Chains A and B, each alone.
Chain A
């Protein structure tokens, strides 16, 4: 991942240095909710790295699983040790393309709906996904938001039967990134 992002950065600096074609953040926010009526379960990670190319629509996203902060210590421990096995699989990735990037005018303020198609890797399982998102251009600043569901079964995240009524089978993921031009 490091090499991919570094390569993208270097290319961004030298190949696209004359324009604002690549945007980057190291402080993106990913949060998720996976609770039920019985239990509130939510967590947030505020150090997500993401880069996208406004010309080609290429989009990458990486997050450290250990960086998710919970309100309760025991939940965080179970999340890392039992469900996500973050020692073995410390990172999650999304690598894909914004299919309708041409619809976004980065020089004009506005809210632009987009679709991101790509491969989401969680818990060492990679799956093709297609999720909605919105780019917001305001006063030269670019941010992106997205909300989508992730089925835990799809990524071989097993919830013990003892707590099955407390943990949702689907996590609602919310993404919020404020980008800086390279």
Chain B
């Protein structure tokens, strides 16, 4: 009888410690490193914008928080206003709208080599659309 109580207490201790460790792990877990994640969708900047312009709510259901790879022509590379903040604008057939790609801070040096007019593929997390469709946590895929 005493042995079985001891075993039960030991088991409960393991469960408690396990739950506490799992809770601690979950609480402190960093957001996923998108540079290492596979893209769920690959499409052109024009296609992405077209899908959003056609039906924004539906596009959000498909793309929001998804890792996507977007190909397009660089219209602008912006470093700043914060130190190491790096953004690439991909142009589309619409002169007023495009895809804004906000890069990981450590990508600022790599982006200095990217030229206006260059065709690139950017991987990042889709966060929705304001004037542009916006990707966060971006990195260059090619």
A residues whose Cβ falls under 8 Å from a Cβ of B: 1-2, 5-6, 9-10, 26-27, 29, 46-47, 49, 62-64, 66-67, 69-74, 76, 87, 90-91, 143, 176-178
A67 with B31, Cβ < 8 A, contacts A27-B81, A29-B82 known: no
Whether A47 touches B87, Cβ cut-off 8 Å, given contacts A26-B131, A91-B130, is yes
Q: Which residues of A contact B87 (CB under 8 A)?
A: 26-27, 46-47
- When distances are taken between beta carbons in the complex, the residues of chain A under 8 Å from B31 are 69-73, 76
CB of B118 to closest CB in A, whole Å? 19
Given contacts A46-B102, A176-B82, contact A69 B32 (CB under 8 A): no
Task: State the B residues within 8 Å of A (CB).
Answer: 26-32, 60, 64-65, 78, 80-82, 85, 87, 89, 96-97, 100, 102, 127-132, 134, 136-137
- Contacts A71-B30, A178-B81 given: A6-B102 contact, CB under 8 Å? no
Q: Which residue of B lies closest to A2 (CB)?
A: B131
In the complex, given contacts A2-B130, A47-B136, what are 13 additional A-B residue pairs having Cβ atoms less than 8 angstroms apart?
A9-B96, A10-B96, A26-B100, A26-B132, A27-B78, A47-B134, A49-B132, A66-B127, A67-B102, A72-B31, A74-B26, A91-B128, A143-B81
Residue pair A6, B131 in contact (C-beta under 8 Å): yes
Residues of A within 8 A of B81 (CB): 27, 29, 143, 176-178
Tell me whether A72 and B131 are in contact (CB under 8 A): no
Closest chain A residue to B94, Cβ basis: A6
In the complex the two chains form, is B82's CB within 8 Å of A64's CB?
no
With the chains together, A72 CA to B27 CA distance in Å? Answer: 7
For residue B137, which residues in chain A have a CB less than 8 angstroms away from its CB?
69
Can you report 25 residue pairs joining A to B where beta carbons are below 8 Å apart? A2-B129, A5-B131, A6-B96, A6-B97, A9-B131, A26-B89, A26-B132, A27-B81, A27-B102, A46-B102, A47-B130, A47-B136, A64-B134, A66-B64, A66-B127, A66-B128, A70-B31, A71-B30, A72-B31, A74-B27, A76-B31, A90-B60, A90-B64, A91-B128, A177-B81
